[in-house]
């Protein structure tokens, strides 16, 4: 039986009580995009951080859901090294929203890498174990690859003063997790595109 709290129209999932990760609003169907946005509002989303560098929905959301606070915090998804400052700004913004009692969606285009990776970084700062956080994201969103998890973990250890040994041990655990939770990223992207890039 589907979880009644998980969105059914919007391309997003709760990974904690007040943190969602996912993909964008449907770019081809304005009516569907409007229903997706309305569903997110109905589920209590108060803040959206959009990490796509290629596009943003700032004006669309401002017009149709003015109560939502929106941050465009774009980053490319090309397997590049992520600047520590990108995590600094995005995580601080989300943590501030959560501390104010908000519910936050971190999303990218397809909800595979960038949005889930930022959500993962937030979860680390909330005290989640690095592997348990990945498990929670994948359980809620099986297509999430979270490609920048290793960089988020490095950022977290740097910002919290973790030792070299702690960092190495956690990175080894992530490597083992990826080995035992293999995901064919090309297949995921192909299936997502066949589904309809902007949503189910």
At residue 192, does pLDDT exceed 80? no
At residue 110, does pLDDT exceed 60? yes
Residue ranges of domains in the chain, CATH in brackets: 12-195 (3.90.190.10)
Question: Residues 131-146: what's their mean pLDDT?
Answer: 95
**CB distance 7 to 43 below 8 Å:** yes
Sort 62 into a burial class: Cβ within 10 Å, 0-12 / 13-18 / 19+: exposed
Question: What percent of the chain lies above the pLDDT cut of 90?
Answer: 87
At residue 8, does pLDDT exceed 50? yes
Question: What percent of the chain lies above the pLDDT cut of 70?
Answer: 93
The predicted model scores a pTM of 0.92
Q: How far is CA 6 from CA 38, 154, 196, in A?
A: 14, 30, 19
| Reported confidence tier of residue 196, pLDDT bands at 50, 70, 90 | low
The whole-angstrom separation of Cα 35 and Cα 46 is: 16
User: Nearest-CA neighbor of 102 among 111, 93, 110?
Assistant: 93
**CB distance 106 to 121 below 8 Å:** no
**First CA to last CA distance, the chain:** 18
At residue 199, does pLDDT exceed 60? no
Backbone angles phi, psi at 98, to 5 degrees: -65, -40
User: Nearest-CA neighbor of 47 among 117, 111, 94?
Assistant: 94
Question: Residues 144-152: what's their mean pLDDT?
Answer: 96
Question: Residues 159-169: what's their mean pLDDT?
Answer: 96
Q: What is the pLDDT of residues 120-132, one digit of tens each?
A: 999 999 999 999 9
């Amino acid at each position: 039986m589907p979880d009644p709290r998980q969105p059914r129209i919007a391309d997003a999932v709760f990974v904690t009580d007040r943190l969602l990760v996912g993909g964008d609003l449907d770019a081809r169907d304005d009516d569907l995009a409007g229903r997706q946005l309305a569903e997110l509002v109905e589920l209590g989303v108060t803040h959206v951080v959009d990490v796509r560098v290629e596009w943003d929905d700032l004006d669309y959301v401002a017009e149709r859901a003015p109560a939502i606070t929106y941050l465009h915090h774009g980053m490319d998804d090309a397997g590049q090294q992520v600047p520590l400052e990108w995590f600094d700004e995005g995580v601080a913004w989300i943590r501030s929203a959560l501390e104010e009692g908000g519910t936050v969606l971190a999303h990218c285009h397809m909800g595979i890498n960038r949005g889930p990776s930022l959500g993962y970084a937030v979860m680390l700062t909330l005290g989640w174990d690095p592997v348990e956080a990945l498990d929670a994201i994948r359980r809620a969103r099986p297509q999430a690859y979270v490609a920048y998890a290793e960089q988020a973990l490095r950022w977290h250890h740097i910002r919290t003063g973790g030792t070299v040994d702690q960092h190495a041990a956690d990175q080894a655990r992530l490597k083992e997790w990826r080995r035992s939770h293999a995901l064919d990223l090309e297949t995921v992207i192909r299936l997502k595109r066949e589904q309809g890039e902007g949503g189910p």
